[in-house]
Amino acid sequence: MALHISPAFFKLLPELRYEPTPRRIRAQLGGNTVVDSTSAVLAYEPRRVTPIYAVPAGDIAAELTFAAEPGHDPLADVPPEALMDPRYPFSAHTAPGQALDLHAGLHNLPGAGFRPDDPDLAGYVLLDFTAFDRWLEEDTTVEGHPRDPFHRVDARDSSRAVRVHLDGQLLAETRQPLLVYETMLPPRTYFLRQDVDWDVLDASLTRSVCPYKGTANYWSVAGHARGTDLAWSYEVVLPDSAQLKDRISFFDERTEVYVDDAKQEIDSLFRF
């Protein structure tokens, strides 16, 4: 029988997974390199959908000590059914192992390391991406979190008619959509700015960083329960996503979307 790939992929999510990377991985603190490895792997703890850098302990220029037991288990704050994206903290570990503190010169990083109890990752330490000032793959800075080698983001110009509403109120309408297809997310429509009704949008203070696309600013629709941070634009785009510059998108999961006048049924593993 033929294998449907995505269901097979999702069956792996409860497992501790890893994938070696041939890239040189470095992490810096205060301008000093404290991680430098050509033997790194991308590790995925159970239920996590984005990878974490893991390197041999010998590639870390820091003292590693056992972390104190937390007064509150961060995993207790994660809904049991949730798939864990980067919104959930590194400290919410789903695999057996030992949390570690890192001490590098004047820098103390409580709980920034994790040594899993798995023979295939013996000698490796998973590292909290957010605990370090800067990460590099070769000489290129990595933003947000490590990139997943099994994750794609494809942008395609289209001539389909797309409109988006919130509780019946028209927010945007276009015949020149840029459709973005990203692994595990519903297709996103990116609108030209002139195709958006700016009278209903208020600028938000929220910012987010995507390692594939760039840094996003957000807008909200006032007076709507689902309108907070509903729209976004990548004001600073990464080279791979230059097409997104000056385009606006909306969370389809919280709106009504019509493509060629057909209402779309949105199937998403995540709720944003």
What is the reported pLDDT for 270?
A: 56
What is the reported pLDDT for 238?
A: 92
What is the reported pLDDT for 272?
A: 53
Both tokens of residue 148?
Answer: 């997943």
Residues in contact with 117: Cβ distance below 8 Å, sequence separation at least 6, in sequence order? 95, 96, 97, 98
Residue with tokens 């395609």: 156
Question: From the CB of residue 189, how many other CB atoms can be counted at a distance below 10 Å?
Answer: 25
* Residue 215 near residue 209, CB atoms below 8 Å: yes
What is the reported pLDDT for 82?
A: 85
Boundaries of every domain in the chain: 5-142, 153-263
Both tokens of residue 195?
Answer: 């195709």
Domains 5-142 and 153-263 share a fold: yes
pTM for this structure? 0.90
| Chain-centre distance for alpha carbon 143 | 10
Q: What type of residue sits at position 50?
A: T
Closest CA to 173 of 187, 161, 158, 157: 161
Both tokens of residue 196?
Answer: 């958006």
* Residue 174 near residue 162, CB atoms below 8 Å: yes
Element (H, E) at 6: helix 5-11
CATH number, domain 5-142, options 3.30.70.60, 2.60.120.620, 3.40.50.170, 2.170.150.40: 2.170.150.40
CA distances to 22, 189, 193 from 214, rounded to whole Å, are: 24, 17, 18
Rg (CA), the chain: 21
Tell me the mean pLDDT per 10 residues along the chain, length 272. Answer: 89 96 97 97 97 98 93 87 90 97 95 98 97 97 95 96 96 97 90 97 95 96 90 93 95 94 78 54
Question: What's the CA gap between 74 and 82, in Å, rounded?
Answer: 14
Q: What type of residue sits at position 99?
A: A
Q: What type of residue sits at position 167?
A: D
Closest CA to 92 of 80, 108, 104, 109: 80
DSSP 183: T
Class (C level, CATH) for 153-263:
mainly beta
Question: What's the CA gap between 146 and 29, in Å, rounded?
Answer: 17
DSSP string computed for 195-212: GB-GGG-EEEEEEEEETT
What is the reported pLDDT for 69?
A: 84
What is the reported pLDDT for 269?
A: 60
DSSP 160: -
